[in-house]
Amino acid sequence: MNSFTFTQAPAVDAAVQESVAHDGAAYIGGGTNLIDLMKENVARPTHLIGLKKLGLDAIETLPDGGLRLGALATNADTAWHPEVEKRYPLLSQAILAGASPQLRNMATDGGNLMQRTRCYYFYDLATPCNKREPGSGCSAIGGYNRIHAILGTSEQCIATHPSDMCVALAALEATVRVSGPHGERTIPFEDFHRLPGTTPHLDNTLMPGELITGLDLPAQGFEKHFSYLKLRDRTSYAFALVSVAAALELDGNTITAARLALGGVAHKPWRDQAAEALLVGQPATVDTFRRAAAKVVEGAQGYGSNDFKIELARRAIVRALKQAAEMNQELDSNAFLNSNP
Amino acid sequence: MSPVTQVPAERPPVALAPTQPITLHINGQDHFLTIAPWTTLLDALREYLALTGTKQGCDHGQCGACTVLVDGKRINSCLSLAVMQEGADIQTIEGLGTEENLHPLQQAFIDHDAFQCGYCTPGQICSAQGLINEGKAKTEDEVRELMSGNICRCGAYSNILTAIMEVLGNKEDGAEVSNAPMPKQEWSAGAARAEMGPVEPAK
Ligand SMILES: Cc1cc2nc3c(=O)[nH]c(=O)nc-3n(C[C@H](O)[C@H](O)[C@H](O)COP(=O)(O)OP(=O)(O)OC[C@H]3O[C@@H](n4cnc5c(N)ncnc54)[C@H](O)[C@@H]3O)c2cc1C
Ligand code: SF4
Ligand code: FES
Ligand code: FES
């Protein structure tokens, strides 16, 4: 680790000012990603700004029926908050599918959004990596890329965003609340993370000095029909190879609302609204789910070791939608079986 | 000097960060330290306070050997800075029981042979105490899932599970475990076991 100084910021304004005043300053939430990267010398902040005293750890109901998650609420407290468990169980399930109990007790909701890719070359200072060192090249293209992206990649970077929580937040249409040197603003979740393009060193659209203060969830929680399906090399404590957040509203067997987002496949949580549109108004059958799945992987591209992810994603989408539809439903299960080819 | 070991003349000397005074509240006692900000909680415990019960395995949050309790919640002390823990109530394995008066988990680990080399054990026990405090895990599968942050290189998992189940069971007879039951929906790993069969033949 490099040398740095540390301050515990007393308030949001003070934290932002500290950040503007110090070249190379970084906010620190739980530290589970930043300290790891500092130990590897991938991150080399000169000044750390602690956020624990900002009073941003509350989870509160909003007047419009939504829920506000403070940026410093821990992943564990969020997943096990009674309102989240009851009204946004998809979010609960996604958080609990990630990391370990110890890490979830430390990790903050703001920090989770900001966690960096797990691309092995990004972590290895001895190899070229455009994300770590712009212009140096991408070692994953033509290298080992089993965990890498199949959608929205560029010739400069094929890294994935590793979060589980963010896949659920994308499906639930959360809003990110931000405070910065130029005041406050909100960012729709869809616009928060970005694709690599020619500037893969930028993971998201946060501006320098900006601090995430919270996340707002809209009232619609899809608590009746949802699934977070995470596929990985072992069934616990591993990052997703492919994950799917599926959420449905059903009227009888007809889909009246649908959300579909994927993790482990792109530089950002991959929500596909065109695929969602193919679900709405249709009967909840495997045939319908297959059409949506085909739409999602339409433009997918493998890079060798990760080719398997395309078929894996397609099947995972069908299964997650099926799990979501079958929840809380007095099912005519034959409707599903009969539509199998 | 060889060109390899020679420091280039133009490189500025590395400035050490100033140390800062902190107070850590550990196992019911205040400890005063003057340390550099980069000191992890794990290093502070082991290198400065001689509390070597807490172990260092991976140093990257992946093994759980360094698990301690902070305000009753289990965390990885290798990924936290000591300066971030001022004002917190820290509990290490040294604070869980004494040689004369073992903690129920310590006794259960001995009774069930829940270790071989013992390196992961302090972390396992602190983690198990955290699991009991959370009150979420009741069944063996739930305990397995919620103990997955602790790796045992010797593979003592089945006896670790038995030891924890015993303490959990005893708790349930008493008054301390009174939390709501787990939701029926499988919440941990996505696919339910019954659904693991192939559902989607390739086209
Ligand atoms: C072994 C291991 C396994 C893991 N497995 C999984 C997994 O399976 N699934 C998964 O989703 N995640 C996993 N994680 C990642 C974990 O979820 C993240 O490290 C965690 O969510 C980051 O949160 P934090 O508060 O610790 O962030 P920090 O490490 O404190 O910060 C991360 C980044 O966010 C910035 N930041 C923090 N807070 C703010 C804020 N409020 N505003 C602006 N910037 C901020 C920091 O400057 C830093 O750049 C794993 C981590 C480890 C170590
Ligand atoms: S995929 Fe992205 S993060 Fe990985 S080596 Fe290439 S540029 Fe770096
Ligand atoms: S030493 Fe902390 S998790 Fe391995
Ligand atoms: S007993 Fe040896 S690592 Fe667990």
Q: How big is chain B by its Cα radius of gyration, in Å?
A: 21
Q: Nearest CB to A100: which of B73, B144, B149?
A: B149
Q: Which pLDDT does position B161 carry in this prediction?
A: 98
Q: Is the CB of A279 under 6 A from ligand 2?
A: no
For residues A104 and A77, give the distance between their C-alpha atoms in angstroms, rounded to a whole number: 8
Q: Is the CB of B37 under 6 A from ligand 4?
A: no
Q: Are A110 and A68 in contact (CB under 8 A)?
A: no
Q: Which pLDDT does position B185 carry in this prediction?
A: 37
| pTM score, whole prediction | 0.92
Domain that holds residue A232: 226-333
Q: Is the CB of A119 under 6 A from ligand 2?
A: yes
SS (H, E, C) chain B: CCCCCCCCCCCCCCCCCCCEEEEEEECCEEEEEEECCCCEHHHHHHHHCCCCCCCCCCCCCCCCCCEEEECCEEEEHHHCEHHHHCCCEEECHHHCCCCCCCCHHHHHHHHCCCCCCCCCHHHHHHHHHHHHHHCCCCCHHHHHHHCCCCCCCCCCHHHHHHHHHHHHHHHHHCCCCCCCCCCCCCCCCCCCHHHCCCCCCCC
Q: Are B55 and B66 in contact (CB under 8 A)?
A: yes
In a domain, A43, yes or no: yes
Q: Which pLDDT does position B198 carry in this prediction?
A: 40
This model of the complex carries an ipTM of 0.94
The span from the first CA to the last CA of chain B, in angstroms, equals: 67
Which residues of chain A register pLDDT less than 50? 334, 336-341
Mutate to test the interface with A, among B33, B34, B38, B78 (most CBs of A within 10 A): B38
Q: Is the CB of A145 under 6 A from ligand 2?
A: no
CA–centroid distance, B16 to ligand 3, in Å, is 26
Per the DSSP assignment, residues forming a β-bridge with B81 are B40
Q: Is the CB of B61 under 6 A from ligand 3?
A: yes
Task: For the domain made up of B20-96, give the CATH fold.
Answer: Ubiquitin-like (UB roll) (3.10.20)
In a domain, A277, yes or no: yes
Q: Which pLDDT does position B95 carry in this prediction?
A: 97
Q: Which pLDDT does position B6 carry in this prediction?
A: 52
Residues in A closer than 8 angstroms to B137, CB to CB, are none
* CATH code of residue A273: 3.30.390.50
Mutate to test the interface with A, among B67, B71, B78, B84 (most CBs of A within 10 A): B84
Crossing angle of helices B104-111 and B157-173, rounded to 10°? 130
B13-61 pLDDT tens trace: 666 668 999 999 999 999 999 999 999 999 999 999 999 999 999 999 9
* CATH code of residue A35: 3.30.43.10
> How many domains is chain A partitioned into structurally?
2
pLDDT interval class at B201 (50, 70, 90): very low
Q: Nearest CB to B15: which of A3, A35, A76?
A: A3
Q: Which pLDDT does position A1 carry in this prediction?
A: 87
Q: Which pLDDT does position B15 carry in this prediction?
A: 66
In a domain, A94, yes or no: no
Query: Cβ of A8 and B86 within 8 Å?
Result: yes
Cβ pairs A/B, distance under 8 A? 136
Q: Are B114 and B152 in contact (CB under 8 A)?
A: no
For residues A146 and A273, give the distance between their C-alpha atoms in angstroms, rounded to a whole number: 27
Residue B61 CA, closest ligand 3 atom number: 3
Per the DSSP assignment, residues forming a β-bridge with B60 are none
- Where are the strands (E) in chain A, listed by range? 5-8, 25-28, 47-50, 59-61, 67-70, 175-180, 183-188, 211-217, 225-231, 242-251, 254-263, 270-271
Q: Which pLDDT does position B192 carry in this prediction?
A: 39
For residues A98 and A276, give the distance between their C-alpha atoms in angstroms, rounded to a whole number: 25
For residues B79 and A29, give the distance between their C-alpha atoms in angstroms, rounded to a whole number: 11
pLDDT at B199 over 60: no
B115-173 pLDDT tens trace: 999 999 999 999 999 999 999 999 999 999 999 999 999 999 999 999 999 999 976 54
For residues A105 and B66, give the distance between their C-alpha atoms in angstroms, rounded to a whole number: 14
Both tokens assigned to B92:
């290490």
